[in-house]
Amino acid sequence: MPHPLPLSHRVVLVTGASRGLGHALTHRLVAAGARVAAGARDAEGLSSLRNALGDAVFVKPVDVRDAQSVRDFVAGAEDALGPIDAAINNAGVGQYKPFHEHAIADCDVMVDVNLKGVLHVCHAVLPGMRGRRSGHIVNIASDLARRPLANMAVYAATKHAVAGFSHSLLREVKGDGVKVTLVNPGIIDTFFGGSEPGRDEAWALRPEVVADAIVHLLAQPPHVVIDELAIHPLGQDF
């Protein structure tokens, strides 16, 4: 008898699913046996996922900055697929430039997407997970959650905040059977736009590599939680 796929019958919610790491995650999760609720602002990108993956994926546009949009996404996902077993907060934005060159509106967007978006998703899925005494939240931060970098001050601030929130939340909910994992990737080759196939893999991670690591941590036994995972390309100076 063949072994079951590692995430068979699990329902996993992914934000920022239309491109980059979120797109790779959706494909890898489906390949591992999960049913995926894929959300993003890019409706065209979501339609492409649905066409490629069929009934294994539920797609719905969502703006993680808007708490009601997130609640609607979660409700639609559970109506279509069933209770959410895991939620991956992947949506994120960043800008590389000196702080004094940022407009305050740019700062607001990074805080709203990178931090408030995580809070909105967690607030929407946690009641059900705690009630079922089972669930897993994965918050995608950055290696900048643990180190400084010039010209990324606002982005780094949001990721430091996600790190603090994730570890504190784990200590609140693990007694209810809910896991929380913080993932800190180094540079991913889609961060500043489309993938660049010619870029040296020792300098920038392919999103599929990070996605495989996340599938692995989701597949741990119920009594095991990987509370933090850092993953870097070998050639990155960190």
For the annotated catalytic residues, the residue numbers are 155
Q: What are phi and psi of 69, to 5 degrees?
A: -60, -40
Angle at 153 between CA 152 and CA 158, to 5 degrees: 100
Comparing C-alpha atoms, which of 80, 38, 44 is closest to residue 60? 38
Please name the residues in contact with 208: beta carbons below 8 A apart, sequence gap of 6 or more: 24, 28
